Every structure is written in C-alpha cells, then in structure tokens.
C-alpha cells in the first residue's frame, strides 16, 4: 500500500540543492549533506473504471488531498509491477475488490505534477469493502454519479470516456505480446510479412 | 538530453540499505549516510515509430547497453512534460528530427526493470541527423528492416504493431480533453446524459 497520494506530486525536499551532475546536462536535485543525486522521475498512476452491471464503483477518499471526495481506485505503480497488475492491486487495496481487467481506456497526463495516468476498464468480480485509504466505497448508477464531488478532473474525464465507449468497442493500443515480459526476442524471421496472429503463450 | 538509457533500469546503488520508513508498509531504499528515503518509481519511456512515406526511421545506438544496435527514438519522460512532448523531444535529440505525432500505438511494460513504455505513431516532418546518442540514423524500407540487429524486444513489437495498424485505423485510448492539463474541472453539469462531442478548447 502506498501512503503517497496520487495528486500530491511530492515536491523537492529542502535537503536538496539544484545542480548539474557530472556527465549530465540538466539540473538535478543533489543532497546538501551527502551529494546523492535524486533523479526525479514522472510518476505513473494506474487505475480503473470498475463496472458492476450498469453501476460504477467509486471510493470516497480518507486522505488528503481531496479527503471526502469520490475517486477511482487508483494509485502509484510499484517497482516490478506491470500496469495491469498495479491496477488490480489498487482496486484490492482501496476497495477490497477483485476485478477483471479489460482494455486500457485512457492515458492522461498532469504535467504540472509530472504525472501520467493509465486508466483501464474493469468489471467487479466479487464483494467489496473500504480499504484504509477510503472512507466509503459504493456503487453508483449512471444517473446518480457524484459529478460535483469528484476528487480530480481526470476522474471526471474517465467517467465520461468510459460511458462514451460503453456501448461501442473500446479502442485500445497494443500491449506486450502474450506471455512476453520484454526480456527476450521472439526470433522473428527476417523480412516484413503481413501482420500475424499472436503466438500461443 | 538524458544520459540515462532506456534499458538500464538503474539498480539500487550500494549507498542504500533496505528498510521500512515510518508510516510506510513496504521496504524502501534508505541512505546509509543521511537517512534519505529514495522512493524508486517505475520509469516511463516515451518514443515513436516514425514514418517517412513507406520507410521507417531508426537510430543506431552510440551508447551501452546494445551499442551498435537499432532502436526507435525513445527515452525517459522528463519532469513536467506530457508524454507527447517527451516523444517529440526524444526524436529531436536522438535523430535531429521534427515529427508530427499521431495516436498512441502501444503501451509495453518490462517489469523486471520497472519500465513502462508509451510508443506513438509519427511522421517525419523534415530532415534528420544523428544526435550524440546515435552512431547513425537512417530510413529503412519495410523489406530492409534490420530485424536481427534490433536493440530491444519492444522495438521488434513496435515495428510489428505499427505495420499491423498501418493499413487500417490505429486503435487508441482517450487522452486529456483538448487544452486540459488536469488542474481544473470543466464544470460538467450534473446528470449523465449520452456521450457528447468534446467542448471547444
Ligand atoms: Zn544525503
Ligand atoms: Zn545520503
């Protein structure tokens, strides 16, 4: 569970001064005490719009910022996780919910806080219960969604976008070939033939 | 320009020991010297498959790992950047190329090195020239692509996926509404009507 929150954006602590490390060309944060270079990376948030029939599952935030407002189950991707695993983990941590993940719905960015969000479509696969970061978790029918009490603009976008694709086919980019983790070539023969069906895993 | 490379994955430096900070539940890297907690985040790589007519632009790597092998213009997203801006910046840094970015092609992950890649489709919009991280940049016609000399498996996937969508419509997820940076609500009226066309920016 990440205590961090998905809109805090963790500004630079004052222990750091800005300077350009050897071999680099950009100012980084260098520790005043020990010289450690803290490369700051954009943060990757993973989450999902979870359906149960026509209803949508939302969590009421137990933590700042935006305590008391409604959000999607979402949070920071952890080290060593795929985005899909991260989205499932967050649904379990924040809403006690097992979900079946469908395709990627949206890629949003919030450049001011250096954040990129990957939001999936998903389906509730069992019971749910508020986790430690949620005051309450509940299902909302489409006509009762709490539009004026949403925690973040991207939650609003995701609800609108999910509704827009709901009756049609969800557009989605490609993802890793089945069973591949990016560590080996598949030995594709030379030449560039027509697109082939994915290989069995 | 990032000296970092998109497959190194920056393992933990030995200055750190693993321990659980107060208020956290997961082991993090804590500096042995000064106690700084280095939260490690997954790294986000942005890149593009750049077309010039039927040809594809590739860069031969001037740096390890996989020096001398061919790759897409791609690299780490910087702080404060949108993924789209980052993909354009990398094409300019590594291939001296201005590009017109089209939709997102793929979201790949390499969990072993905690990396997520956002790969876009793009079109070359002018001349190109090898940047400091490239030995050579050139255009390959489809039948001459260097399949056996690609730097990373995900380059192979991206070339295959780009070819697969080339003659059809590229599927793509939603992105930020036009002009929105995730910092304000658009004041959507209560209620959940049918999908609406995007509002003018
Ligand atoms: Zn220090
Ligand atoms: Zn230190």
Instruction: Give the total residue count for chain B.
Output: 201
Domain, as residue range, for A95: 43-166
Question: Is B191 contained in some domain?
Answer: no
Chain B contact for A36, CB < 8 A?
A: yes
- The first and second tokens of residue B91, run together, are 């094409």
Q: Residue A28: closest CA among chain B residues belongs to which residue?
A: B79
Question: Is A118 contained in some domain?
Answer: yes
Question: Is B26 contained in some domain?
Answer: no
pLDDT in tens, A99-152: 999 888 889 888 888 889 999 999 999 999 999 999 999 999 999 999 889 999
* Alpha carbon of A126: minimum distance to chain B alpha carbons (Å): 26
- The first and second tokens of residue B13, run together, are 């430096």
Cα separation, A2 vs A10, in Å, equals 13
Cα separation, A74 vs A90, in Å, equals 5
* Alpha carbon of B56: minimum distance to chain A alpha carbons (Å): 12
Looking at the 3D structure of chain B, how many domains does it have? 1
Cα separation, A49 vs A56, in Å, equals 7
In order, the DSSP letters of B154-196 are HHHHHHHHHHHHHSSPPP--B-PPTT--SSS---PPSS--S--
Chain A contact for B181, CB < 8 A?
A: yes
What's the first-to-final CA gap in chain A, in angstroms? 31
Q: Note down pLDDT in tens along chain A; length 201 residues.
A: 232 333 333 434 456 778 887 766 667 777 777 777 766 789 999 999 999 999 999 999 999 999 999 999 999 999 889 999 999 999 999 999 999 998 888 898 888 888 899 999 999 999 999 999 999 999 999 999 998 899 998 898 888 888 878 866 556 666 666 666 666 665 454 444 333 333 333
* Contact pairs from chain A to chain B, CB under 8 Å: 230
Question: Is B4 contained in some domain?
Answer: no
* Residues of A in Cβ contact (< 8 Å) with B81: 42, 111, 114
The CATH number given to whatever domain includes residue B59 is: 3.90.79.10
Q: Report A:118-147 residues touching B (Cβ under 8 A).
A: 118, 142-143, 145, 147
Chain A contact for B93, CB < 8 A?
A: no
**Is A106 in contact with B192 (Cβ distance < 8 A)?**
no
Question: Is A82 contained in some domain?
Answer: yes
Cα separation, B4 vs A122, in Å, equals 35
Cα separation, B132 vs B170, in Å, equals 32
Q: Does the ipTM exceed 0.85?
A: no
Q: Note down pLDDT in tens along chain B; length 201 residues.
A: 232 333 333 434 456 778 887 766 667 777 777 777 766 789 999 999 999 999 999 999 999 999 999 999 999 999 889 999 999 999 999 999 999 998 888 888 888 889 899 999 999 999 999 999 999 999 999 999 998 899 998 898 888 888 878 866 556 666 666 666 666 665 454 443 333 333 333
Q: Which parts of A14-54 are beta strand (E)?
A: 16-19, 28-31, 37-38, 43-52
Burial (CB count within 10 angstroms: exposed 0-12, middle 13-18, buried 19+), residue B125: middle
Q: Residue A11 in contact with residue A69, Cβ under 8 Å?
A: no
* Residues of A in Cβ contact (< 8 Å) with B174: 105-108, 157, 161, 164
Closest to A42 (Cβ–Cβ): which among B44, B106, B110? Answer: B44
C-alpha torsion angle, residues A191, B132, A38, B183 (rounded to 10): -70
Question: Is B62 contained in some domain?
Answer: yes
> How high is the pLDDT of residue B6?
38
Q: Which ligand is nearest to the CA of A35?
A: 1
Question: Is B147 contained in some domain?
Answer: yes
Q: Report B:146-165 residues touching A (Cβ under 8 A).
A: 147-148, 150, 152-154, 156-157, 159-161, 163-164
Q: Residue A107: closest CA among chain B residues belongs to which residue?
A: B175
Average pLDDT, chain B: 79
Chain A contact for B41, CB < 8 A?
A: yes
Chain A contact for B18, CB < 8 A?
A: no
The residues facing A75 across adjacent strands are A46
Chain A contact for B180, CB < 8 A?
A: yes
* Alpha carbon of B32: minimum distance to chain A alpha carbons (Å): 10
Question: Is B12 contained in some domain?
Answer: no
């Amino acid at each position: 569970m990440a205590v961090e929150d998905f809109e805090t954006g963790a500004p630079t602590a004052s222990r750091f001064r800005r300077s350009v490390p050897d071999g680099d060309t950009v100012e980084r944060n260098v520790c005043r005490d020990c010289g450690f270079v803290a490369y700051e990376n954009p943060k990757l948030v993973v989450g999902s719009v979870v359906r149960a029939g026509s209803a949508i599952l939302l969590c009421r935030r137990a933590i700042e910022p935006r305590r008391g407002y409604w959000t999607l189950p979402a949070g920071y991707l952890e080290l060593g996780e795929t985005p899909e695993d991260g989205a499932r983990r967050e649904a379990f941590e924040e809403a006690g919910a097992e979900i079946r993940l469908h395709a990627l719905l949206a890629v949003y960015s919030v450049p001011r806080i250096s954040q990129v969000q990957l939001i999936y479509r998903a389906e509730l696969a069992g019971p749910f219960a508020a986790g430690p970061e949620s005051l309450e978790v509940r299902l909302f029918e489409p006509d009762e969604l709490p539009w004026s009490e949403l925690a973040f603009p991207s939650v609003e976008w995701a609800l609108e976008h999910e509704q827009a694709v709901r009756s049609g086919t969800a557009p989605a980019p490609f993802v890793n070939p089945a069973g591949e983790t990016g560590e080996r070539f598949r030995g594709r023969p030379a030449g560039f033939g027509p697109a082939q069906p994915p290989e069995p895993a």
